[in-house]
Chain A
């Protein structure tokens, strides 16, 4: 077994990186994959609380790097699955406690035992981001259909290309279908046209995402949630399974007919 290392990043903060990592990890584990997540946001630890594992932390990634524990000791197993683990970020240290070669070494040690290593990148384009992309075999960029988030995503895509990390795939998060239909939000097609990269998933804005985070049970575990379905689909695509996109933006019904009549799209 050789794990694929996937880094989730965004440039702008608050667009849903941590939520995406927690949900994709759960979805991959539900599909029987062996998954380990690494929280790369040193000093602003959050993946633990979104995944519901915050009470079980003993050691963190900086303890591993500085030799206070073995890698296995810092891996918290999510008891809901046979093989899903979290390596938490250090909360009381700064980002200089970790280097790119530390991240490369940890991922190299994890690879033989897992199918996927998911890295939650910090926001920004500084050291923590560089560390998070260093070991990546594949990068997913999360953005929202808003001018600031799209602009920052474009910067990150440019850096990834300059660093020869290849062209990342896009997760468009928090798409509000009503606003798109009213032409008051960038559509998935608009964002793809602007960024010029491949799409791996569109996640609709959905209140069940917050409910899932509140409970520490990511929304993919809710079979009825639309956002959960979107993340489950992305997990299938990560595994190389062709999965049709959910029909989120079709201009159906009376409103669609009206828009056609008036020549607006």
Chain B
């Protein structure tokens, strides 16, 4: 691996800290977050059909506050409505 293409340690430190701090601040382990995601998708699926392969749910930082951001694409029913 070339000298300039090697990933230097500062970016590893930052990426690792970003994850650790989110879990520290929310007091939510990665396993609990995974369970939350599954429960959330199950609840939504009771009402509408979702495209479960494209679902993105995660914690994001915004300054000192955290938010749970979910991007949940719906299946074709929306297309019919949009077309009509």
Contacts and interface: CB of A to CB of B under 8 A. Distances in A.
Asked if A pairs with B, the answer is: yes
B24 A151 contact: yes
A190 B10 contact: yes
Chain B, interface size category, equals 10 to 19
B61 A196 contact: yes
Contact of B20 (A151, A157, A180): A151
Interface stretch (A31-39, A117-125, A181-189): A181-189
B8 interface: yes
The secondary structure that dominates the B interface is helix
> Among the interface residues B9, B17, B20, which one has the most CB atoms of the partner chain A within 10 A?
B17
A96 interface: no
B45 interface: no
Interface in B1-47: 4, 8-11, 13-14, 16-18, 20-21, 24-25
B84 interface: no
Contact of A262 (B4, B8, B13, B18): B4
A183 B64 contact: no
B8 A147 contact: no
A185 B4 CA distance: 16
> Among the interface residues B4, B21, B24, which one has the most CB atoms of the partner chain A within 10 A?
B21
Contacts of B18: 194
Contacts of B17: 147, 150-151, 186, 194
Nearest to B14: A190
Contacts of B8: 182-184
Interface string A147-178: 10011001101100100000100000000000
> Among the interface residues B9, B16, B61, which one has the most CB atoms of the partner chain A within 10 A?
B9
A210 B63 CA distance: 35
Nearest to B12: A147
B13 to A, nearest CB: 5
Contacts of A193: 14
A57 interface: no
A158 B9 contact: no
B16 A154 contact: no
Contacts of B21: 151, 154, 194
Nearest to B27: A158
A183 B11 contact: yes
B13 A196 contact: no
Contact of A187 (B10, B16, B24): B10
A19 B56 CA distance: 46
Nearest to B62: A196
A186 B13 contact: yes
A53 interface: no
B6 to A, nearest CB: 10
Contacts of A151: 17, 20-21, 24
What 10 A-B pairs come out closest when comparing CB atoms? A183-B8, A196-B64, A196-B63, A262-B4, A183-B10, A184-B9, A190-B14, A154-B21, A147-B13, A184-B8
Interface of B: 4, 8-11, 13-14, 16-18, 20-21, 24-25, 61, 63-64
